[in-house]
């Protein structure tokens, strides 16, 4: 059985870990170890990595959703500790960061369209239109297709629909930042409704979803709302 652990997040869960405005998740399945995003402040990322007993040197693939500071904070530490991971970034990613990763000996794959990651996972390729170049991770798991997203700058419903198109079925669960933290009232209600209308079964909103957004998701999805925060473990 696969396991997803949230390494960095805005919301609390495991008291041994520190919260931060940012996101990172560690996924392990069938001996494959994948890291999705790298949090914000590197000292918090490293604190949580150690507390969770994650060995960065053993990670096979690093997927970076997009180049915002709250998703790449642990990059320098990662490059020092890990010498073997293939790195997956979306087209339009920061060229300076790509250069740095290549100079440290990492193979960098730039996604223009959907791609396989480590033979077990997939990425969407950049989803458009979007204010930032961003791709999301997805894979088959318990219940159906699981999606892991960083900030959802292309909007969660567009990401869900892209995965639906690639996978040929409605995804099961969407974990990560929904980027609703600046939305209130009607705009927020409409946004949650648009996610509901995709017919995705479960939601696990964290990071930049916002308090109000999480509250509304909980109300609308009821038992299909999964409350997650830093250190949450989801088995698939
Ligand atoms: Fe973010
Ligand atoms: Fe972002």
pLDDT digit string (tens) for 209-230?
999 999 999 999 999 999 999 9
Q: Answer whether 104's CB lies under 8 Å from 79's CB.
A: yes
Residue 199: how many other CB atoms lie within 10 Å? 10
Nearest ligand to the C-alpha atom of residue 181: 1
Nearest ligand to the C-alpha atom of residue 20: 1
Ligand 1 centroid to Cα of residue 112, in Å, is: 21
Ligand 1 centroid to Cα of residue 137, in Å, is: 15
Average pLDDT, rounded, for the chain: 98
Q: How confident is the model at residue 154 (pLDDT cuts 50, 70, 90)?
A: very high
pLDDT (average), residues 69-95: 98
pLDDT (average), residues 65-78: 98
CA 107 to chain centre: 20
Ligand 2 centroid to Cα of residue 179, in Å, is: 8
Question: Is CATH 3.40.50.720 correct for 3-228?
Answer: no
Ligand 2 centroid to Cα of residue 52, in Å, is: 24
What are the Cα distances from residue 18, in Å, to 1, 31, 145? 27, 27, 29
Strand 24-29's sheet: what is its strand order?
108-111, 86-90, 61-63, 32-36, 24-29, 3-8, 233-235
Query: What percent of the chain is predicted at pLDDT more than 70?
Result: 100
Ligand 2 centroid to Cα of residue 40, in Å, is: 11
Ligand 1 centroid to Cα of residue 207, in Å, is: 7
Ligand 1 centroid to Cα of residue 178, in Å, is: 9
Q: How confident is the model at residue 61 (pLDDT cuts 50, 70, 90)?
A: very high
């Amino acid at each position: 059985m696969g396991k997803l652990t949230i390494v960095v997040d805005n919301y609390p869960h495991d008291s041994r870990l520190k919260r931060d405005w940012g996101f990172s998740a560690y996924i392990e399945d069938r001996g494959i170890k994948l890291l999705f995003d790298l949090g914000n402040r590197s000292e918090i990322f490293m604190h949580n990595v150690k507390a969770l007993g994650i060995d960065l040197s053993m990670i096979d693939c690093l997927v970076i959703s997009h180049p915002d500071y709250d998703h790449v904070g642990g990059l320098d530490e990662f490059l020092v500790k890990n010498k073997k991971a293939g790195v997956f970034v979306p087209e339009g990613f920061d060229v300076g960061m790509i250069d740095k990763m290549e100079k440290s000996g990492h193979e960098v794959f730039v996604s223009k369209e959907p791609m396989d990651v480590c033979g077990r996972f997939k990425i969407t390729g950049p989803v458009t239109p979007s204010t930032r170049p961003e791709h999301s991770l997805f894979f088959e798991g318990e219940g159906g297709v699981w999606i892991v997203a960083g900030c959802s700058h292309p909007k969660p419903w567009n990401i869900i629909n892209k995965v639906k198109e690639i996978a040929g079925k409605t995804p099961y669960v969407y974990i990560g930042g929904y980027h609703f933290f600046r939305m209130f009232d009607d705009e927020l209600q409409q946004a949650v409704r648009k996610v509901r209308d995709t017919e995705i079964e479960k939601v696990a909103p964290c990071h930049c979803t916002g308090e109000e957004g999480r509250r509304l998701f909980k109300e609308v999805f009821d038992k299909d709302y999964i409350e997650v925060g830093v250190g949450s473990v989801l088995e698939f």
